[in-house]
Chain A
Amino acid sequence: MNNDNENRAEVFVYRLIFSRQGPAIWLGHLDMMRTFERALRRAAIPLSWSQGYNPRPQMVFALPISVGLAAEADLIDVSCAEKVDESDFLKRINDKLPEGLAVSSCNLINPGRSSLMSLVSEAVYRLEANDICVAAKHVLEGNQPLITEKTRKGKTSELDIRALLLDWKCIDANSLDIRVKAGSSSNLRPDLMLKLLTEQGGLGNLAAADAMITRMELIISEE
C-alpha cells in the first residue's frame, strides 16, 4: 500500500466556481461532465487521469444540477498533473467553454480527505415566477409542516418540506430566495417548492412551469 502511494504522482486540485445560464441550463449532469471535460482538453489543461482500464480525467462536481436550472456559483474540483497558474487557468478555460458556461474563480486547494460532493450541505435557490411571494408568504409563514407528495422511481411518498427548508426571503413580488438542505444525505429539489406553492399558495400552474430557477450558492461544510 505504502509503495503504491509513493509511486503515485503528485496531483494539484483546482476548485472552480462557475455559472450556467442561457442554452447551457438545458444540459443534464452527464452532458455537463462531458462538456467540461472537452473544454478542459481544448484549453490544454494538464489533467490528471484516473488509473485502471478506462482512465478518466479526475473532475468532481459539488452537486449535480437538474435540467432547466441555472446556476450562479456552482463548484467543481479539477485535478491536474502539473501546477498551473490560477489566472492562466481561468483565462484558458473561459476561452474554451460553450455559450452559457463561465468560470468566475479558480483556486489551488489543499485536497482534503473527503470529496467535494460529500461536503455540500446547503444550497440557496432563487425562484422567479409571477406573484410567487404572495404564495410564499401564505404558505411558508409559521411553523406548520409543509406536506407535499414526491414521486421517485414511480413511487409516491409524502414529504415535509419544512424539515428541509432552512430560510426563505422575498426579494420582490416575483422573486423568492430559499435556503435548503442539499447534498447526498438530505436534499430539497426546488421544483418541489414550486409544487407546494401551486398546491397550497395559489401560485399559477403556468407561472410555476415557466419559473426561472437559479441555484445562487452552494454551501459546503469545512472538513
Chain B
Amino acid sequence: MNTVDLPRHLLRQVSKPARYVGGEWNSVYKNVPEASDEAVRPFVRFAFCFPDIYEIGMSNLALRILYDRLNKRDDTWCERVFYPGTDMVDRMRELDIPLFALESKSPINDFDLIGFTLQYEMCYTTVLDMLALGGVPQFTSERGESDPFVIAGGPVVYNIEPMSDFFDIVLIGEGEELLPDLVDCYQEWKLSGAPREQFLLSAAAIEGVYVPSLYNVTYNQDGTIAAVIPAKAGVPAKVRKRIELDLDQTSFPTDSIVPNMEIVHDRIFLELFRGCTRGCRFCQAGMIYRPVRERSADKLLEQAKEMEASTGYDEIGMLSLSTSDYSQLGCLTDSLLEEMTPNHTSLSLPSLRLDSFNLGLMEKASRTRKGGLTFAPEAGSQRLRDVINKNIKEEDLLSAMKLAFAGGWSGAKLYFMLGLPTETIEDVEGIALLTEKIEEIYRSLPREQRPRKLELTVSTAFFIPKPFTPFQWVPQMSQEKLREHQRHLRNLIKSRSVKYQWHEFSTSWIEAVLARGDRRLGKVLHRVWQQGGRLEAWDEHFVLDRWLTALEENDLSLDFYTARERSYEEILPWDHIDCCVDKEFLWQEYQRALTGELTPACHEACMACGANCFGGGICYEQR
C-alpha cells in the first residue's frame, strides 16, 4: 500500500493541521489483504471525497451515512478525502505530495473507486483540482485500465451534464441503496478480468446508475438539445432515481466519527425524514427527494441514545427539510429532553414554522438561553408568496412574532429571495414593509416586556432557477434589474434595528449557468480550473472574469443559459434523468405559479406528481 509522508515541518506551517492527520474517534481502519487472498471476493478501496475543506465536509450527513454503510462490509474500506486548505494545497504541490485519504494516507489514485458527493454546483472546479492533485486523469476519456473509476452522487447530480466529461459513473438517488450494488458489480467485473468499458456497461444496467459517456447528445443550430440517445444496447433511455422506502430499516451511523477539531455542525445528527410535503416552487430539494418518508419517533429516540453513548457529543440536532412537518415532533422532543437532561445534552431545533405549538417546543428545548429565531417568508408580498407556493400568510407571521416577543425573544432572522419569477419593485418594497410591521409590534409592547433592543436581520439571496422545479423553464432576472431591486431594498431599510445582509450577485450568475447547463460546459469548467479555479463556493476564491473568459473562448453565451425562457417542448439537458416527479406536473405547477394559484401540501391533498411510483412514503398514508 502506498502512503504519503506528511513531514512535521509541513504540518507546523499550515493552519489547522488536525484536518490532515485522521485518527478521530470512530474513524475506521482496516487491513488491506494481499492480492492473492482475494481470489473469491476482491477487496474494494473506496475514497469518499467531499470537495470542500474538512470542517464543511465532516458536517455532511451523506458522508457519514455512506462511510458507515460501506465500512459495514468486510470486503470494502471506505476512507475520507477532503479538499485541503489552500495553504496546504500550495505546499503539497511544492513538495509533490499527492491528495491522500485521511485514514491510510494513500494517494487517491491508489483506490478502486473514488466517489464525490456534490452538494452545490460551485464545487465543480474543486472536484477537478482534487483529481489533478491526486494524479487521477480528469477526463473519463483519459483514464486507463489501472486508473480508478470516478463516481458522483448528491443533489446536484440530477443535472450533472456540465461535469459529464469527468465522471465515469453517476448515482441518481440515495447512496445507501445504490453504492452496495455498485460495489458488488465492481467486484464481479474485477474477477472477470474484462476491460474497463465492460464495468461501465454492467453498471449502467443497475437501476439508478447513469453513465454519461454511454449517451450521445446532439444539438440544434440554436444550441438547444436535439436528442440524447443511449450509445449502446442495454443502456436505459431514462435513468430513474433509487430511494430507501423504509427509513426505520436503513442503516444509520450510530458509531459516527467524532472530529478532534471543531467543525461547522459539531453535533449528533438525527434525520427525522426525507423529502418535504410543502412543494415550494423554487425549491429543488422539495421535488427531488419525494416522496416524504418519515423515521419513527421510537427509532429516532433509540438512535439518539446510541449516538450519545458512542460519540460523547453534548448536542443533538434534528435534521430535515422542514422540522415542524414531522408528524411526531411533540412526543419526540419530549422524550428526547427527558432522556438527555441528566447528561447535560442539549437539543437544537432548526427550521421550525413559527406557531404557538412550536414556540412552546423551542422554549422547552432552550435549556439555557434563547436561541435565534429564523423565518423564511422568501418573498415580501402575499402575491409573490402565492406565486412560489410559500404558504405563509402575513397575519400568521405577525402573530407568530407577537407570540415570540411575548415569550421573551427580541430578535429574528428573516430570509428572502430576490429575483423570483414575476417579481416587481412592489414585491421588494413588501420586504421593507414587513420589517416595519414587525418593529411596530415590538414597539407596541409595554416597556417592561421589552428589556432588550429589537434586532432584526434581513437576509436576501438571489433566486436561481433549478432543474426539476416548476421554475426550470424561467429566465433568470437580468443583472441590471436584480441590482436595482437590491439597491432599492437597501435604501428602504433605514431602521437601526434592522440589519441587511446580501449575497454577491456574480456567484449566483455562474451557479445559474451550471445548474441548468449542458455538456458543452465541460470545457469551460476545465478552462476555469486551469486558470486557478478552486473552492469557488467561497466568495474569496471566486473570480467572475475567469468564467466569462472561458465561456467566450468556447463560444458559449451566458445569456443562453440564464436569460432564456425555455419552452415546454424543448429537450432539457436533464430530461433523460427521472426523479419521479413528472414533467407535466412541474409544468402545471409553473402555470399555477403564473396565476398565483396555491397547491396544497402532500399531507393535505395529493396532486399526483408521480412520486407514488415507488409504492411507499406519504403517497400511501392516510390524510
A-to-B contact residues, CB < 8 Å = 22-24, 26-28, 30-31, 34-35, 37-42, 44, 49, 53-55, 57, 67-68, 96-100, 206, 209-212
What would 28 A/B residue contacts be, using CB atoms closer than 8 Å?
A26-B11, A27-B260, A27-B261, A30-B262, A31-B260, A31-B262, A34-B262, A35-B260, A38-B312, A38-B313, A39-B312, A40-B312, A41-B312, A41-B314, A41-B343, A42-B309, A67-B12, A68-B11, A68-B17, A96-B312, A97-B25, A98-B23, A98-B24, A99-B22, A206-B9, A209-B12, A209-B13, A210-B8
Query: In the complex the two chains form, is A31's CB within 8 Å of B368's CB?
Result: no
Residues of chain B with a CB closer than 8 A to A39's CB: 25, 312
Query: In the complex the two chains form, is B8's CB within 8 Å of A24's CB?
Result: no
Most buried by A among B12, B312, B314, B368: B312
Which of B17, B312, B313, B368 contacts A54 (CB under 8 A)?
Answer: B368
Q: In the complex, A36→B7 CA distance in Å?
A: 26
Give B1-25 as 1s and 0s: 1 = Cβ < 8 Å from A's Cβ atoms: 0000001110111000110111111
Q: In the complex, A39→B11 CA distance in Å?
A: 25
* A97 nearest CB neighbor, chain B only: B25
Which of B18, B308, B310, B313 contacts A31 (CB under 8 A)?
Answer: B18
Residues of chain A with a CB closer than 8 A to B17's CB: 26, 67-68
Residues of chain B with a CB closer than 8 A to A35's CB: 25, 260
Given contacts A42-B312, A212-B8, whether A23 and B21 have CB atoms under 8 Å apart is yes
How many residues from B make CB contacts under 8 Å with A? 29
For window 91-107 of B, CB contacts with A under 8 Å fall at none
B623 CB–A CB distance under 8 Å: no
Nearest Cβ distance between residue A35 and chain B, in whole angstroms?
5
Given contacts A27-B260, A31-B18, A49-B344, whether A210 and B23 have CB atoms under 8 Å apart is no
Given contacts A23-B22, A98-B25, whether A53 and B311 have CB atoms under 8 Å apart is no
B-to-A contact residues, CB < 8 Å = 7-9, 11-13, 17-18, 20-25, 258, 260-262, 308-314, 343-344, 368-369
Query: In the complex the two chains form, is A55's CB within 8 Å of B344's CB?
Result: yes
Query: In the complex the two chains form, is A100's CB within 8 Å of B23's CB?
Result: yes
Residues of chain A with a CB closer than 8 A to B13's CB: 209
Query: In the complex the two chains form, is B261's CB within 8 Å of A31's CB?
Result: yes
Q: In the complex, A97→B18 CA distance in Å?
A: 16
Q: In the complex, A70→B66 CA distance in Å?
A: 33
Residues of chain A with a CB closer than 8 A to B308's CB: 41
Which of A30, A67, A99 contacts B23 (CB under 8 A)?
Answer: A99
Nearest Cβ distance between residue A3 and chain B, in whole angstroms?
25
* B266 nearest CB neighbor, chain A only: A34
Given contacts A23-B22, A34-B262, A41-B314, 4 further A-B contacts (CB under 8 A): A23-B21, A40-B312, A41-B343, A99-B23
Q: In the complex, A212→B21 CA distance in Å?
A: 16
Q: In the complex, A217→B80 CA distance in Å?
A: 35
Residues of chain B with a CB closer than 8 A to A22's CB: 23
Query: In the complex the two chains form, is A27's CB within 8 Å of B18's CB?
Result: yes
Q: In the complex, A22→B17 CA distance in Å?
A: 12
Residues of chain B with a CB closer than 8 A to A49's CB: 344
Most buried by A among B7, B8, B262, B369: B8
Residues of chain B with a CB closer than 8 A to A37's CB: 312, 314
Residues of chain B with a CB closer than 8 A to A53's CB: 368-369
Query: In the complex the two chains form, is B21's CB within 8 Å of A26's CB?
Result: yes
* A191 nearest CB neighbor, chain B only: B12
* B308 nearest CB neighbor, chain A only: A41
- 6 tightest Cβ-Cβ pairs between the two chains A and B: A23-B23, A38-B312, A209-B9, A99-B23, A41-B312, A23-B21
Query: In the complex the two chains form, is A42's CB within 8 Å of B23's CB?
Result: no
Q: In the complex, A28→B17 CA distance in Å?
A: 9
* A39 nearest CB neighbor, chain B only: B312
Q: In the complex, A206→B311 CA distance in Å?
A: 39
Residues of chain B with a CB closer than 8 A to A96's CB: 25, 312
Nearest Cβ distance between residue B255 and chain A, in whole angstroms?
11
Q: In the complex, A24→B13 CA distance in Å?
A: 17
Residues of chain A with a CB closer than 8 A to B18's CB: 23, 26-28, 31, 67
Residues of chain B with a CB closer than 8 A to A27's CB: 18, 260-261
Q: In the complex, A85→B356 CA distance in Å?
A: 48
* B21 nearest CB neighbor, chain A only: A23
Q: In the complex, A212→B12 CA distance in Å?
A: 11
Nearest Cβ distance between residue B241 and chain A, in whole angstroms?
37
Nearest Cβ distance between residue A76 and chain B, in whole angstroms?
16
Query: In the complex the two chains form, is B21's CB within 8 Å of A42's CB?
Result: no
Residues of chain B with a CB closer than 8 A to A44's CB: 309
Q: In the complex, A100→B25 CA distance in Å?
A: 11
Residues of chain A with a CB closer than 8 A to B314's CB: 37-38, 41
Which of B9, B311, B343 contacts A210 (CB under 8 A)?
Answer: B9
